[in-house]
Amino acid sequence: MRSVLITGSTDGIGAESARVFGAQGDDVIVSGRDASKGAMVVDEIVQNGGSARFIPADLSSLDALHDLAAEAGDVDVLVNNAGMAPVSATVGQDAGVFDKTFALNIRAPYFLTQAVAPGMLERGRGAIVNVSSVAASVAVPLMSVYSATKAALSELTRTWAAEFADRGVRVNAVAPGPVETAMFHSMTPEKAKEFNEATMLNRAATTREVADVVAFLASDKASYMTGAVVPVDGGGTAL
């Protein structure tokens, strides 16, 4: 049984990924700031015959990040999913929000990987999956800060893959387009239609469609994949 740590897994893609890993027999560590939502995800996995526990963590804090890594123990699969997506014009961007976004979207996965990877490297096996975004490679107005962090995460994916490959640890990323999360459903119908029409399939992905790719990249079926950033975007980046 593998130990799978998923950050930001109390909702959205992270929670659905936790359910998928739990259903396939992994021991899932659900993590996030909302203990009640985390307990719900854990209960659902356990009630369906899986194994899971919740570790609370606010990854904007380095101390909380190190506490999470210590409590998680040996991790076979790390999914760096936690993040935030501020919407603001560059000329009006708040510096505090800028710093918080980089802390959560880049500093957190960087130093959590730094904490977890040594055990993987010592054991000679492991998989890391980063949740990037199509916004890392296409222009999305009003999301300059988010796009910059996701571009950095995609590049970290390639760099970590090169650093860890010779010791049996694979690193890949998914790059979702529009996904049916709470943020997507909070959009106006006009804005949601605009996002949908930016894909070939003319719709947003379900969280399960993204979670299945996350689980695939962490599986032995993807044993020859490392350094890849896989678009899960309904063909949006191919247009």
Domain locations along the chain: 3-227
- Per residue in 113-132, pLDDT (tens digit) is 999 999 999 999 999 999 99
- Concerning whether 146 is annotated as a catalytic residue, the answer is yes
Q: How is the beta sheet containing 3-6 ordered, strand by strand? A: 51-56, 27-32, 3-6, 77-80, 126-131, 169-176, 229-232
Q: Of the candidates 20, 1, 3, 60, which has an alpha carbon nearest to the alpha carbon of residue 174?
A: 20
Structure confidence at residue 21 (pLDDT): 98
Q: Is there a contact between 8 and 78 (Cβ–Cβ < 8 Å)?
A: no
Q: Is the pLDDT of residue 149 over 90?
A: yes
**Helices 12-23/35-47 angle, 10° precision:** 30
The domain 3-227 is classified under which CATH number: 3.90.1720.10, 3.40.1260.10, 1.10.460.10, 3.40.50.720?
A: 3.40.50.720
d(CA 236, CA 23): 30
Q: Is the pLDDT reported for residue 187 higher than 80?
A: no
- Kindly tell me if the per-residue pLDDT of 69 is higher than 80: yes
Give residue 188's pLDDT: 83
CA quadruple 105, 107, 110, 112: dihedral positive or negative?
negative
- Tell me: the pLDDT tens digits for 161-182? 999 999 999 999 999 999 998 8
Residue 156, judged by CB atoms within 10 A of its CB (0-12, 13-18, 19+), counts as: buried
d(CA 109, CA 80): 6
Q: State the pLDDT at residue 68.
A: 98
Q: Which of 21, 54, 146, 160 is catalytic?
A: 146
pLDDT at 109: 98
Look up tokens 């500093």; give the residue.
107
